[in-house]
Structure formats: structure tokens, C-alpha cells
Amino acid sequence: MKTLLLSYCKSRQFKEQLANNRTRLYRIAYSWSHSHDIADDLVQDAMGKALKNYKQLRDHGALNSWLFGILNNCWRDYLRQRHDFDNIDDIVLISHDTPDKHFERQDLSRIIQDHMEQLNIGQRQVISLVDLHGCTYEEVSQILSIPIGTVMSRLSRARKQLAEALIEYKPVNTVHNPKNTLRSVV
Amino acid sequence: MKNKSHFSDEFLNAYLDNELTHADKIRLLDAVREDEQLDQRLCQLQRVHNMVQLAYNDVYPTTDSQTHRHKSNSKITRFATAATVLLFLGGLGGWFTHHYFNTQSGLTEIVQELHTNSPASNTPWKLLVQVSNRDVRRFGILMDETERLLKTAAQNNEQLTIQILANAQGIELLKDDQSPTALRIKQLRRQYNNLLLTACGQSLEKLRSQNRPVPKLLEEAHIVQSAIQQVIEKHRLGWTYIKI
């Protein structure tokens, strides 16, 4: 009976944790695919697999990394189906700048997302995991199964490319100046 | 140190992402104080970091999945309710322990959502079971559990009412045909009049509006206006609710 209760509670706890992570997973999936439909499918697929295999998760502290790892596998499966002969790290999803789309670019978010689309997928995955989810380099390395050095170089190239593309845009209250942070308070 | 080439972009990113050692952070900040270009590079990278966050701040799932619908007060409440119902099941005549090895995987796997008002052992227990999918295996487990509960309650002279509420694809459960499930439900219904069968009217209406075949339901099944309304109403009346 006790075993059953523990098993049941663990299962319930896991489902709750999974539900709590859904928006986070979705945000990452969307940042990779830039499509609500694909992001929905990816997250559903990833959550289904997570539910099916949750007993494989031994360290619940590593839940996020584990989930993002599953999401990454789903994403790779998706890309494999779509691009059988391409190296997925080299794929650049071009943003087709139609007049309609031009009108949609009313806000900075859309502009930034458009520039994110210009990054290759490998870079986009890394920057989204680090900037959106706050993953450490080691976590990203585990999630994407790439060396930490590759994480750093992809992140560096991604940020540099975005910095050059977005130089004319200045979001309000987001500029960080280390000098300004080193002030004394009396 | 004043030359920006001393610090690579990777190094600056590592600082922004809190990946540097304390000593390296100090080294970089000392350099930043004396090197405006380095300061600007750092600011530029920080700005990109902030902008990426901004870009996806308002991105939320567009559809509601079953998992997402799992609303609950807190983990503790969930555990408490789960434990309460399972203990209650265990208290119903000891059948649970007896059949433990046969049922534990099924029971723990099929329950998706559970709410109870922690009934005392001497009060009548009313259980609402919502079925929303047409998984035959789940139907089988549900029938097993229902039959055991009804049987044990009858043996122990317990007051128990079980209402099965079928909606969406779960409507198949109440289809009037010659399937083993239908025959079993009919038999159970004949045997226990404290087993109620209900189907969601909205789900049937949806099938009609989509010009899809509407199954003929068992004559024992009653059609309620909507599953959600039933769940809310029964919950308000103190019923225990399980969704599978």
C-alpha cells in the first residue's frame, strides 16, 4: 500500500511539474520553430514522451534539462522529416519580407524575432536556452549533446549577429552598464 | 588590458551568463573601468540578451492540452487528496490489498485528475468518474475498479454511488453495441442500481454539427447538458471526482 501511494504521488508530482513547465517548453519550442502550430506539436510530443518515460528520470533536480533534451530530440525528428539531406545546424530559415509581414512589424518583439529567424538553428537553440530559460552552458551542452566550447562559440556568434542587426533599436531600460552598477549607496 | 582583444566575445558572454569565476569577473570589471570600448561591447551583448528575452516574453501556448488543464491548489493538497482516496479505497473491505498486485499499474496510470472532499468513513461516498478518451484498456481498468468498488461496498453495506460521465471520445464507452465493454456495462448496471451512466450532451451535439455519426447510446445512459457543468455541480455537492 505504501509503495503504491509513493508511486502514485510521484506520478502526480511529475505531472504537475510537467504542467508547470509547459509554457517554458512552449516558449523555447516557439523560439526554435517560430510557428505556433509546430511549437504546439513539439511540446505535446515532448510532454507525451516525458510522461511515458518519467521513470527514467532519476534526479528530479535535473527535470528541466531532461525535458529540454526531449524537446530537442522532438525538434530534430521534426527537422529530419522536413529536411532529410540537410545538416540541421546549417539551416537558416529565411524570413520572407512580404508587404503584409512588413505591416506586422509594429513592435520590437516582432523585429527581434525576425532577426532570430536569420540565425542558423544551432545558434538559435543555444541562445534561446541561455537567454530565455537561463540554462547554464553545461546544461545546454547536455541538452543539445554538444561540447561546452561549441555552446560558447554558437552563443557568441548568435549574439554578435543580433547585436549588429539590432544596433539601431534601443529597448527601454534594458541597457546594462557595469559602471552604473558599481555605485555606492549611503 | 586596455586592448579589447584581451577579452574575447566568448569571455564577455560568459561574464553576462554568470559562467566566470569570481577572479575572472573582477579582472574583467577592472578592465571595463578603464576601457570604454570594452564597456560598450559588454553593454551591446547585454542589450542583445535583454532583447531576446523581450522578444518572447508574450509567447504563450495557443491551445490548452489535457496536461495544462491540471489545475490544483498545491502539491500538498494533491498528495493529500490522492492519499485520501486511495486510503478510502483501501478501507473498502480490504479488496484493494487483495488485488494490489493485479491493479496497481492500471490504477496509477489511468487517473489523470482527482479531487475529493475527504469524506468521513461513515458518510455515503459519491464518486464521479469522467472518461474522455476511447482507450479500450482504460475502459477495462475502469470497469474492473468500478465493479470491485460496487461489490465491496455492497458486501460491507457501504453507501456508494458511482456516476460514470462520458464525454468527447469517451462517449464510445456508452455505445449500445455488442462489444465486450457494452455488454459488461449493461450487466453491471443491471446488478447495481447505484451505478449511474451519463453522457455529455455537448459532445453529442458536436458530433452532429460536424456531420459525424452519433452513436446510439445504452438505454441506461442519461444525457446531461454538459460534462463540465456536471463536474462543477457534483464537486459543489461534495462528490469525489476522478478523471481518467
pLDDT tens-digit profile of A117-136? 999 999 999 999 999 989 99
Q: Name chain A contacts of B46, Cβ cutoff 8 Å.
A: 174-176
Cβ distance B162 to B194 under 8 Å? Answer: yes
Paired sense of beta strands B240-243 and B113-115, if any: antiparallel
Phi, psi for residue A16 in degrees, rounded to 5: -65, -45
Q: Complex ipTM, two decimals?
A: 0.72
> CA quadruple A71, A72, A74, A79: dihedral positive or negative?
positive
CB contact under 8 A, A137 and B17: yes
Is B13–A155 a contact, with Cβ atoms under 8 angstroms apart? yes
SS3 at position B165: strand
- Give the contacts of B97 (CB within 8 A, at least 6 positions apart): A1, B90
Please choose, from the candidates B174, B149, B172, B155, the residue with its C-alpha nearest in 3D space to the C-alpha of residue B240.
B149
Least confident of A18-32, A48-62, A161-175, B50-64: A161-175
CA distance B44 to B24: 20
Q: How many CA atoms lie within 13 A of B238 on its CB side?
A: 7
- Least Cα distance to B161 among B187, B196, B191 occurs for B196
pLDDT grade for A139, boundaries at 50, 70 and 90: very high
Q: Which residue of B49, B56, B79 is in closest CB contact with A9?
A: B79
- Residue B65 predicted with pLDDT over 80: no
- As given in the structure block, the three cell numbers for residue A138 are 553545461
Closest residue in A to B112 (Cα) is A12
The closest of A115, A105, A109, A94 to A159, measured between CA atoms, is: A115
Please say if the pLDDT value at position B94 is more than 70.
no
Q: How many CB atoms lie within 10 A of CB A105?
A: 13
- A165 contact partners, CB below 8 Å, separation of at least 6: A115, A118
Query: What are the residues facing B114 on neighbouring strands?
Result: B242
| pLDDT mean across residues, chain A | 78
pLDDT tens sequence across B116-147? 554 455 567 888 888 888 777 778 888 888 88
Instruction: Find, in chain A, the residue whose alpha carbon is nearest to that of B85.
Output: A5
pLDDT (0 to 100) of residue B105: 41
How many helices (H) and strands (E) chain A has is answered by: 10, 0
Mean pLDDT score across all residues of chain B? 75
Does residue A184 carry a pLDDT above 80? Answer: no
With a threshold of 0.90, does the pTM exceed it? no
pLDDT in tens, A70-107: 999 999 998 888 754 455 555 555 555 555 554 444 46
Beta bridge partners of B164: B129, B197
Sheet holding B113-115, edge to edge: B113-115, B240-243, B125-131, B160-166, B195-200, B221-224
* Buried/exposed A41-79: b ≥16 CB within 10 Å, e otherwise: ebbbbbbeebeeebeebeeeeebbbbbbbbbbebbeebb
* Nearest C-alpha neighbor of B162 from the set B151, B173, B178, B174: B151
Do the bridges between strand B160-166 and strand B195-200 make them parallel or antiparallel, or are there none, so unpaired?
A: parallel
User: According to the model, what pLDDT value does residue B117 have?
Assistant: 54
CB contact under 8 A, A178 and B39: yes
Residue B17 confidence (pLDDT): 92
Judged by DSSP in three states, B237 sits in: coil
Q: Measured between beta carbons, which residues in chain B are less than 8 angstroms from residue A130?
A: 17
Distance separating the N- and C-terminal Cα atoms of chain B: 65
Tell the burial category of A81 from Cβ atoms under 10 Å away from its Cβ (0-12, 13-18, 19+): exposed
**Cell numbers of B13, please?**
558572454
Given a contact cutoff of 8 angstroms between Cβ atoms, the answer to whether A29 and B55 are in contact is: no
More confident: B126 or B90: B126
Round to whole Å and give the CA distance between B93 and B88.
Answer: 10
Q: How far is B224 from chain A (nearest CA, A)?
A: 30
C-alpha closest to that of A35 among A90, A86, A78: A78
